[in-house]
Structure 1
């Protein structure tokens, strides 16, 4: 599995034929690492040794796939936390040593996958020189978006600080990566269908999140209710009740006796969205119900203005984005 990842597409046609795919220059290796992963430091474990590096890289959505090895025993460290990136190292050959908790470390073997969020914790690795990896670089923000979309909350840093090995051998995770890389098309070094590319991006992030949470002991299905503090849940209740009156976030925060900034931070940490986004969604949901239940003769503008909408053009754009149709279409369908 993954023997031909980033070498050939699913039909066996070579990928990346017009790209530099190997090098014996440290400057080229370092430039590649900066592009594929983030700014970091590398040094050979034997002074003066040149690399014999494999450097292949392709993007699937917002995820960077790289087939990589230094080709000589090397230490990499000082991974830049400001990059905001997560790295998943999938060992195909040889061995790579990674840190775990405390002073512990682990040597990943072929079939092992290791994940670290370099935006939340420090990282280093030692490659034995005979190794080869298929690495993934995933923006932390993308993982937060996935958690919020599927589970309604963003895990706290206790999860993201976990450095761990998951999967082994012919795991379902590696099968997913194999499917993703076989979906590439050598004619343009991309997946031809943007929708398929988006779905693969989503599947990878979701499967990684489940593996990560499972190893960290986090129940994603119950985590939202357990994680969110009382004031976030109470704000949600108030916004659902008063959405028709178009309250402001500051007014909601005032009723709870907290600042708007505190409320915004709570929503960001535990829901992955802003309170304004939540309130806007509640208002649009209420508007849709009102349009579906409209009496004969009622108009979109009258119904919308009664619910506090002033800029009808902006409202229509947001409504279409959320529901895939205009308010007028909803009103007409409700009368059929």
Structure 2
């Protein structure tokens, strides 16, 4: 993880230091403070090293980013997590995990996700430092349905340790590193209720799913041929009715009753591009209509921002590419007519 690595034996230098939850050498306090944000659990110190627990935590809407160490070798037994999935990736040291009927090791570039309905116990090595993503169970299951076509009611299961040193795993860790580094610089990316924070959380969920579990996609599940025209009609009607709204692709897929991947595949088959590009063209066409039929108070800036174009230079560039003239030229020609 490069920048996420910290120097040996220096818990005060843990990532997310700007968001401390607690630091203590008291076993009962450490157990109680962790239980407040995770769940009740048994915590025991093994070996002779003293407990030096520290927990930094960044809260979002449906997930939290955590960095936790106990300093000492510890046994942790929470039982079933119930309400959340927990991704674990040791930045230092390693951990032995028993989850359900499986046992596995994480560390040295390998991480894993605990399923919420399995009995869990773990042993963390001395000086183990873990980067963890705690994710609301319903939010992750909904993302798996929307993005990958996981059937309604089908369980979302993670199976053991996965290497995250290349490909999608490396990209996912890079995104987590970006969130942490920006937070340490003072930028508030999560937990602010903003569209950026919402999209960033969604991207983290999708990145975790891509790097940790194989999911069936809608096309492999026998998606009916008659579904695509209806899907497209619902999606395009929703887009036209909400041209001024801050839509994300997940909103469109939900309105069309399908997954993001199925929606993207259907739009590429029909239009040769994704749904967000089609949405942009719809907005440009509406802008042309408004500028071609102006009122006394019509302004290019108002038309653009009312349709979700907040970067006026980019709006003008797309507009000229589509219509062969600038928005201002369209408006001036209409006012002279």
- TM-score, shorter chain, exceeding 0.5: yes
Q: 1:72-221 counterparts in 2 under 5 A? A: 72-82=72-82, 84-99=83-98, 102=101, 104-118=102-116, 120-154=117-151, 159-160=156-157, 162-169=158-165, 171-184=170-183, 187=186, 191=190, 194-214=194-214, 218-221=215-218
Query: How far off its partner does 1:20 sit?
Result: 5.1
Query: How far off its partner does 1:68 sit?
Result: 0.5
Q: Does the 8 Å contact 2:105/2:161 carry over to 1?
A: no
Pick closer, same or farther for the CA change 1:135–1:36 going to 2, 3 Å: farther
SS in 2 for 1:43: strand
Query: How far off its partner does 1:154 sit?
Result: 4.0
Q: Does the 8 Å contact 1:117/1:140 carry over to 2?
A: no
SS in 1 for 2:85: strand
Query: How far off its partner does 1:87 sit?
Result: 0.5
Pick closer, same or farther for the CA change 1:172–1:155 going to 2, 3 Å: farther
SS in 1 for 2:120: coil
CA displacement 1:134-189 (0-9 Å, x = unmatched): 111101101122122223444765542x3321233362221121112223266586
Query: How far off its partner does 1:64 sit?
Result: 1.2
SS in 1 for 2:135: strand
Match of 1:15 in 2: 18
Pick closer, same or farther for the CA change 1:210–1:20 going to 2, 3 Å: closer
Pick closer, same or farther for the CA change 1:36–1:3 going to 2, 3 Å: farther
Match of 2:53 in 1: 53
Q: Does the 8 Å contact 1:101/1:163 carry over to 2?
A: no
SS in 2 for 1:130: coil
Q: Does the 8 Å contact 1:85/1:139 carry over to 2?
A: yes
Query: How far off its partner does 1:94 sit?
Result: 0.7
Pick closer, same or farther for the CA change 1:71–1:64 going to 2, 3 Å: same
SS in 2 for 1:145: helix
Pick closer, same or farther for the CA change 1:7–1:69 going to 2, 3 Å: closer
Q: Does the 8 Å contact 1:58/1:189 carry over to 2?
A: no
Query: How far off its partner does 1:106 sit?
Result: 2.3
Give 5+ residue unaligned stretches, structure 1. Answer: 227-232, 244-276, 279-323, 325-336
Q: Does the 8 Å contact 2:73/2:126 carry over to 1?
A: yes
Match of 2:31 in 1: 30
In structure 2, distance between residues paired with 1:223 and 1:150: 14
Q: Does the 8 Å contact 1:71/1:129 carry over to 2?
A: yes
In structure 2, distance between residues paired with 1:184 and 1:61: 16
CA RMSD of aligned residues (A): 3.9
Q: Does the 8 Å contact 1:51/1:71 carry over to 2?
A: yes
CA displacement 1:194-241 (0-9 Å, x = unmatched): 222111110111111222333xxx333435548xxxxxx8xx99x99x
In structure 2, distance between residues paired with 1:24 and 1:122: 27
In structure 2, distance between residues paired with 1:111 and 1:52: 24
Tell me which of the two structures has the higher relative contact order, counting C-alpha pairs closer than 8 angstroms and 6 or more residues apart: 1
Query: How far off its partner does 1:60 sit?
Result: 2.9
In structure 1, distance between residues paired with 2:63 and 2:202: 10
Match of 2:44 in 1: 43
In structure 1, distance between residues paired with 2:15 and 2:92: 18
Q: Does the 8 Å contact 2:99/2:121 carry over to 1?
A: no
Pick closer, same or farther for the CA change 1:101–1:222 going to 2, 3 Å: farther
